[in-house]
C-alpha cells in the first residue's frame, strides 16, 4: 500500500513546485484534498487514494523518466506489438516498471543502437527534423562502390520522390565481394540506408546503427543495454 506523504512533499514529487513553493501554494488556499481546501502545513495524504488538486487541476504522480541504450539484436521488432508475434525490443529490458517505447525504428534484421524511454518529449526532439539528430550506421554492402557513387549519395539522391538530405560516407574496409562503410544521416525514413545503397547499385547485406549524435554504442554486447543519464543525453544533440 502507498504510504502517507506530507502534502507539500507530494506536490514537489509531482513536479508542481519546489517544497517551499508548495508550502506557499498550500498556505494561499490553492490546494484541495478530496474537495476540501487545505491550509495546514502538516497535512498528510495517501497518493492514489486522496484526490489532490492545485488551482482546481488534479495532481497525479508522474512516472519517473528513464532512458536506456540497447544494442538491439537481429530478430526483434521495434513496434510495441506485432501481428506476427515476433519478439519485441522492450521485452529485452528487465526490471523496469516504466512504459518504455523505442525512439525511432530499426528493421527486424538491423542491429545496434536503440534508445528506449518513457519520455515522449525527448523522443520527439530526437526525431524532429529541425534538430536533425545524426544517426551513424555501419553497413556491409555488396560490391565495391566508386568514390563518385558515394559522393552522389553524400550530396543527396532522389528517394521515393524526395531528395535525401546530405550525408557522410566513409569506407571502413574492402573485401572480395563486399565493402564495409559507415554512413551518417540526419533523417529517419523507412528503410532509408538500405534504399540509399540499393539506389546506387550496392545493396546492404547487413546493417548496424553505431551512434545517435555523439552517443556511441561502444562495446555494449548485442542484446545488452545500459541506463542513460543527462551527461549521455547531451551527446545526442552534439
Ligand atoms: N535504415 C534502414 O534501411 N534500416 C534501418 O533499420 C535503419 C535505417
Active site residue 109: no
| Average pLDDT across the chain, whole number | 92
Q: Is the confidence at residue 210, as pLDDT, over 90? A: yes
Closest to 103 (Cα-Cα) out of 230, 212, 180, 3: 212
Q: Is the confidence at residue 1, as pLDDT, over 70? A: no
What per-residue confidence (pLDDT) applies to 130? 79
Q: Is the confidence at residue 168, as pLDDT, over 80? A: yes
Mutate which of 103, 106, 135, 160 for ligand 1? The one with the most ligand atoms within 8 Å of its CB, which is 106
- Sorted by where each starts, the structural domains of the chain and their CATH numbers stand as 5-58 (3.10.290.10), 67-129+217-237 (3.30.70.580), 134-212 (3.30.70.1560)
Distance CA 158, CA 179 (A): 23
Distance CA 213, CA 237 (A): 6
Q: At a CB cut-off of 8 Å and minimum separation 6, what does 9 contact?
A: 19, 22
Grid coordinates representing 59 are 495532481
Burial class (CB in 10 A: 0-12, 13-18, 19+), 75: exposed
With bands split at pLDDT 50, 70 and 90, how would you rate the model's confidence at 228? very high
With bands split at pLDDT 50, 70 and 90, how would you rate the model's confidence at 97? confident
Counting from 1 in the atom list of ligand 1, the atom nearest the Cα of 194 is: 3
**pTM passes above 0.85:** no
What per-residue confidence (pLDDT) applies to 90? 95
Q: Is the confidence at residue 113, as pLDDT, over 80? A: yes
By the 8 A CB rule, do 74 and 111 touch?
A: yes
Distance 180 CA to ligand 1 centre (A): 16
Q: Stretch 84-94: mean pLDDT, rounded?
A: 96
Q: Is the confidence at residue 63, as pLDDT, over 70? A: yes
Does the CB atom of residue 192 touch ligand 1 within 6 A?
yes
Q: Is the confidence at residue 114, as pLDDT, over 70? A: yes
Counting from 1 in the atom list of ligand 1, the atom nearest the Cα of 191 is: 3
Strands (E), 90-237: 101-102, 111-117, 135-142, 158-159, 162-163, 168-174, 178-185, 204-212, 215-216, 225-227
Q: Stretch 80-109: mean pLDDT, rounded?
A: 92
Distance CA 161, CA 163 (A): 7
Distance CA 24, CA 157 (A): 59
How large is the greatest C-alpha to C-alpha distance in the chain, in angstroms? 78
Q: Stretch 17-30: mean pLDDT, rounded?
A: 87
Tens digits of per-residue pLDDT, 118-129?
Answer: 888 888 888 887
Share of the chain above pLDDT 90, in %: 69
Does the CB atom of residue 135 touch ligand 1 within 6 A?
no
Q: Stretch 165-187: mean pLDDT, rounded?
A: 94
What per-residue confidence (pLDDT) applies to 129? 77
Q: Is the confidence at residue 3, as pLDDT, over 90? A: no
**Strand pairing class (111-117; 204-212):** parallel
Q: Stretch 222-231: mean pLDDT, rounded?
A: 95
Distances (CA, A) of 112 to 2, 25, 43, 132, 220: 39, 47, 50, 19, 9
Q: Is the confidence at residue 15, as pLDDT, over 80? A: no
Amino acid at each position: 500500500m502507498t504510504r502517507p506523504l506530507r502534502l507539500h512533499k507530494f506536490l514537489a514529487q509531482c513536479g508542481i513546485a519546489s517544497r517551499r513553493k508548495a508550502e506557499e501554494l498550500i498556505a494561499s488556499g490553492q490546494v484541495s484534498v478530496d474537495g476540501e481546501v487545505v491550509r495546514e502545513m502538516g497535512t498528510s495524504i495517501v497518493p492514489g487514494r486522496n484526490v489532490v488538486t492545485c488551482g482546481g487541476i488534479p495532481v497525479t504522480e508522474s512516472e519517473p523518466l528513464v532512458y536506456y541504450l540497447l544494442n538491439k539484436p537481429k530478430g526483434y521488432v521495434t513496434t510495441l506489438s506485432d501481428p506476427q508475434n515476433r519478439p519485441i525490443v522492450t521485452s529485452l529490458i528487465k526490471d523496469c516498471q516504466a512504459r518504455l517505447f523505442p525512439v525511432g525504428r530499426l528493421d527486424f534484421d538491423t542491429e545496434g543502437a536503440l534508445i528506449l524511454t518513457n519520455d515522449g518529449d525527448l523522443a520527439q526532439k530526437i526525431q524532429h527534423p529541425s534538430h536533425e539528430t545524426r544517426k551513424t550506421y555501419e553497413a556491409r554492402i555488396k560490391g565495391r562502390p566508386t568514390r563518385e557513387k558515394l559522393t552522389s549519395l553524400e550530396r543527396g539522391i532522389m528517394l521515393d520522390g524526395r531528395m535525401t538530405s546530405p550525408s557522410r560516407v566513409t569506407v571502413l574496409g574492402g573485401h572480395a565481394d563486399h565493402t564495409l562503410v559507415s554512413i551518417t544521416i540526419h533523417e529517419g525514413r523507412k528503410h532509408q540506408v538500405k534504399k540509399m545503397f540499393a539506389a546506387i547499385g550496392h545493396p546492404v547485406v547487413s546493417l548496424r546503427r553505431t551512434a545517435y549524435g555523439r552517443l556511441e554504442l561502444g562495446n555494449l554486447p548485442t542484446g545488452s543495454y545500459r541506463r542513460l543519464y543527462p551527461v549521455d543525453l547531451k551527446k545526442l544533440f552534439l
